[in-house]
Structure 1
Amino acid sequence: MAKERCDDRSVLLAREALRPHVPRGRPAADFYRAEADRQGGRVLELGCGTGNKLIPIASDGHPCVGLDLSPDMLAEARHKADERGVAVEWVHGDMRDFDLGGTFDFVFIAANSLLHLHEAEGLVSCFRSVRRHLAPGARFAFDVFNPSLRLLAEAVGVRRPRESLSFTDPERGEVSVDVAETYDARAQVTRGTWHLSTQSEPDFLVLPLEIRSIFPQELPLLLSLGGLRLVDRFGDWSGRPFTGDEPLQLCVCESA
């Protein structure tokens, strides 16, 4: 059994690290920060987690709102923002259906958080909620991975190390990550069990993680059903056009 405690901040950090295929380093944060500056005005992040990307945007002077389904994540985000002296409105809510009573100039969903919505209906509902909250001229951006048929075929339930997902925990030190996954082709959902370990504490945290695949051709259709139009799709954080071979789908949208 996982030795999980709700008041353990290292567990929250681990959960943040387990966001599926999270883009590491500064490029992702810099992209969203630059988009917020380009748009100006109010900013909304859906699935904001502990605020890793939203807090720097708020520190630039943008009025910011962060929405997440996890109270623990929001509590940690509030703690981090208070430490930095940054004002952010943190809202507990579901990105599939929310009403914040106003509009925003820039809305984004980072780190594949959109892929926690498994049903097409949920994705379309999310896009419709976003559409209702876009001010005139506003933009909506998100990143999701580009599914690899090879990797999906290899998801057969065997536990394997994921060296690219290892991270440093301030309390436990170096944390390694092993993953055992299976792929449900009918649902387009990868169902995995993630094992976090240190040298002294093997499997200190074991978590289920289920994420959807959105294939390139279906993405514009889902957006259109939600009242949105795909303006740009990039294959990396530098803005290189998406050709279909890249591991990333970085999308910028507007109201249809």
Structure 2
Amino acid sequence: MSETNLEKYQNPEKYDELYEHYQDDYLYIMEYARHINRPIIDLACGTGRVTIPLSKKGLTMIGVDLHAGMLDRAKQKATQEQLDIRFEQQDCSNLDLGVQSPLIFMTGNSFQHFLTNESQDALFESVKKHLASGGGFIFDTRNPILAELSAGDVSEERYLNSNNQTVIEKHTEEYDHHSQILHCTTETIIQEREQSIQQSTESIALRYTYPLELKRLLATHGFEWINIHGSWKKTVFEESSPQMIVHCKIG
């Protein structure tokens, strides 16, 4: 995962506001984690959105992320809840945690931050090194619906912020078929009395991986494919499914 592809996460508080009520991934993970009495590893844990509620259920958690600001927010929240969670600032493709876990998971489509074949390979080798024998790895990634990606997208939304200022967000998406990377740019303009007082631009690149690519990738690194779902609610994976929820294990 590249440190240059993290612009979208510069405001951890805003991230929490957007996703604090989302629980589908937490509920899925909890189903497989509830009886584990050894450390569970949450990769790309961000602000601890899933790590913290699992810890509150009595599970021993390790949260890993590359972004210092997101981790600081996670630590602050854990301290407020009086939870003992080990947070580590590390690259998920080069982990050195000194433990082997029965379960490692990565949510929030973070898999799409691994933009090259080499970085994907490194991620799976890193995960494998930290999985106990028979241990499971669960992660999600957006389903590459080619018709949508090929069309590209330009959109705009307007809303009032907490200061009663008008916020205009202009979104542009462009897909590179050769690299299978979607380049997303958001230009934000804040206005008062129709005058711009602040303007910023942020971008993110997201790699799309196809189902058969994933199966071959997992097999290459010694993982056994358990299941694929079309959402965290375990819907059947279909052509139009928005996501791929991948569940695999090491032998």
Aligned with residue 195 of structure 1, among 187, 192, 197: 187
Q: Name the residue aligned to 1:219.
A: 214
Instruction: Indicate whether 1:181 and 2:157 are aligned.
Output: no
Q: Name the residue aligned to 2:80.
A: 83
Instruction: Indicate whether 1:134 and 2:131 are aligned.
Output: yes
Q: Name the residue aligned to 2:4.
A: none
Identity of aligned residues (%): 25
Query: Matched residue of 1:217: which SS?
Result: helix
- How has the CA–CA distance of structure 1 residues 237 and 176 changed in structure 2, closer, same or farther, with 3 Å as cutoff? farther
Structure 2 gaps, min length 5: 1-8
Letter in 2 for 1:28: D
Aligned with residue 160 of structure 1, among 151, 155, 177: 155
- How has the CA–CA distance of structure 1 residues 204 and 78 changed in structure 2, closer, same or farther, with 3 Å as cutoff? farther
- How has the CA–CA distance of structure 1 residues 125 and 162 changed in structure 2, closer, same or farther, with 3 Å as cutoff? farther
Letter in 2 for 1:11: N
Query: Matched residue of 2:125: which SS?
Result: helix
Q: Name the residue aligned to 1:236.
A: 231
* Separation of aligned partners in 1, 2:21 and 2:176: 27
* Separation of aligned partners in 2, 1:232 and 1:172: 47
After TM superposition, list the pairs within 5 Å mapping 1:12-91 onto structure 2.
12-14=12-14, 25-91=22-88
* Structure 1 runs (4+) greater than 4 angstroms displaced: 15-18, 168-177, 196-205
Instruction: Indicate whether 1:11 and 2:5 are aligned.
Output: no
Query: Matched residue of 2:211: which SS?
Result: coil
* Separation of aligned partners in 1, 2:249 and 2:84: 27
Instruction: Indicate whether 1:206 and 2:201 are aligned.
Output: yes
Query: Matched residue of 2:247: which SS?
Result: strand
Letter in 1 for 2:70: M
Alpha-carbon offset, residue 206 of structure 1: 2.4
Q: Name the residue aligned to 1:5.
A: none
* Separation of aligned partners in 2, 1:84 and 1:170: 26
Mapped contact 2:43–2:92 kept (Cα < 8 A)? yes
The alignment of Structure 1 onto Structure 2 pairs a total of residues equal to 240
Q: Name the residue aligned to 1:3.
A: none
Alpha-carbon offset, residue 114 of structure 1: 0.9
Alpha-carbon offset, residue 154 of structure 1: 1.8
TM-score by length of 2: 0.84
Alpha-carbon offset, residue 183 of structure 1: 1.1
Mapped contact 2:103–2:137 kept (Cα < 8 A)? yes
Letter in 2 for 1:244: E
Alpha-carbon offset, residue 199 of structure 1: 6.3
Alpha-carbon offset, residue 225 of structure 1: 2.1
Mapped contact 1:216–1:244 kept (Cα < 8 A)? no
Query: Matched residue of 1:34: which SS?
Result: helix
Structure 1 gaps, min length 5: 1-8
Alpha-carbon offset, residue 228 of structure 1: 1.3
* Separation of aligned partners in 2, 1:104 and 1:136: 9
The Cα offsets for residues 172-201 of structure 1, whole Å up to 9 and x where unpaired, read as 899775321211111111111123466657
Alpha-carbon offset, residue 241 of structure 1: 3.0
